[in-house]
Amino acid sequence: MEKSSGKKNTAVLISGRGSNLRSLIKYSKTKKSLIKIVLVISDNISAKGLNYANKSNINNIVIKYSDRKSFEDRLLKLLKINNVDLICLAGFMKILSGKLIKKFNNTILNIHPSLLPKYKGLNTHKRAIHNKDKFSGATVHIVNDKLDSGKIILQKKVKILKSDNEKSLGKKVLKIEHEIYPKAIIRLLTSC
């Protein structure tokens, strides 16, 4: 659903720190941005990322996660009311149902801190270091009904140095996450 401004109404789902949300807000404020962030949803009332939404006067709502069905019922209502066209998961720690994913077919993106298909799930940096990988990186992909498995939109590598540990690698990867998420959105929205 294209809005008169031509920008896609975007919802960002978070659970914690929100540094990717911050980078998406920054992008959305640029002149050429293809998105307008109309809604930020968190399943966690203490998510630090909510502060970024507040600072930028973006409508933000906490939906308590008691069970998936009631969470998603409320989420769907909010997405509808706000005419959301694109959903960006940014450190959102809950798994969405196949039913919801189908409803938003090919319009839910996720960012993951590894070079998918390597290291789906958690503790990606720990596993990359443990396996003595030479590279790690970040991936933006479409969300499908299998964990961290949808079509890859954009990926960028970073070198793992001998001196790296989980923390230093995480920092390097996070930096490129902030760079590639907006780029992946542009790629997705200009390729269809």
**2-17 as b/e: b if 16+ CB within 10 A:** eeeeebbbbbbbbbbe
Helix (H) or strand (E) holding 137: strand 135-142
Report the C-alpha gap between 60 and 40 in whole angstroms.
5
In the complex, residue closest to ligand GRF by CB: 91
Closest contact distance (angstroms) between CB of 5 and ligand GRF is: 26
H or E stretch at 50: helix 50-55
CB of 181 to ligand GRF, least distance (A): 9
The answer to whether 141 is a known catalytic residue is no
Residue 19 vs 107, nearer CB to ligand GRF? 19
DSSP 94-110: SPPPHHHHHHTTT-EEE
**In this complex, which beta carbon is closest to ligand GRF, that of residue 77 or of residue 157?**
157
Residue 95 Cβ vs ligand GRF, minimum distance, rounded to whole Å? 12
Q: Which is nearer to ligand GRF, 80 or 151 (CB)?
A: 151
Residues that bind ligand GRF (CB under 6 A): 14, 16-20, 49, 90-91, 111-113, 174, 177
Q: What are the residue numbers of the active site?
A: 112
